[in-house]
Amino acid sequence: MKVITINVCGIRSSQKKGIFDWLSRSKADHICMQETRALEDQIDNDNFILKGYTRYMNIAVKKGYSGVAIYSKHEPSEIISKFSKSIFEEEGRFISLEFKDYIVASIYFPSGSSGEERQKMKYEFMDLFEKYVKKEMKKRKMLILCGDYNIAHTKDDIKNWKSNQKNSGFLPEERAWMTKLIDNIGLVDAFRVKCKQNDIYTWWSNRGNAYNNNVGWRIDYQMVTSNLLDKINKVSVYKGKKFSDHAPLVIDYDI
């Protein structure tokens, strides 16, 4: 089973850059997108259809903002578009599909870079997400929690770690929370199981020629439950073509 996750930074923008041509050849079972920034009627045409897939979306109330989606080849038993009663329900940041043996979700964590108030909200989202994970783990199903977490976990996940220690996305509190997810709660960073390389990133700033110089951050993840640990087969970050300021994270599982 192949799962792809990417922050498309506007599904209409990434479509113009060829992402759907690439996805149609990817042979993925599930394609998780974040920051779709579109209403259903804005993408209700053939340019946004993947043959053999059904699209599931959670759209933000605010037009042109946030939004997540999953394109899936498989029919879920349940579709859930919220994991808590909070302001985040209106921001289109979560959707999950439940199947017999596993759950796949697309999550878009808030950024705190715009100021203290949004950083506070980011911590709130992290706390609510943690509670969701603990609750879902009780089902003992395999969880594949894809998305833009907006956090680089370790120094190996960011090029300029020294100068970013006081910036949202690499704050000590955020990194400690990621460590807690892994060490205390029992999630697994699926990419790191197979790749220990320290210069593989998934996001690059649009400033300073960051992409060409590979001055990036690894902030896109497929966090999975430990019952998937021995089923992680192959991992990669696709950089053959640039569809947004993020690159697709592709993981094959033996499921």
- The amino acid occupying position 66 is S
Calculate the alpha carbon distances from 83 to 71, 129, 131, 251 in Å.
Answer: 20, 7, 9, 24
Calculate the alpha carbon distances from 148 to 45, 77, 100 in Å.
Answer: 26, 25, 25
Other beta carbons less than 10 A from residue 88's beta carbon: 22
Distance (Å, rounded) from C-alpha 248 to C-alpha 255?
A: 21
Give me the half-sphere count of Cα atoms (radius 13 Å) on the Cβ side of residue 30: 29
Catalytic residue from among 46, 101, 148, 199: 148
Please give the biggest Cα pair distance in the chain. Answer: 47
Residue of 143, 145, 161, 162 lying closest to 153 (CA atoms) = 161
Both ends of the chain: CA-CA distance in Å? 6
Whether 148 is catalytic is yes
Distance (Å, rounded) from C-alpha 214 to C-alpha 197?
A: 14
What sign has the CA pseudo-torsion 181, 182, 184, 185?
Answer: positive
List active site positions: 148
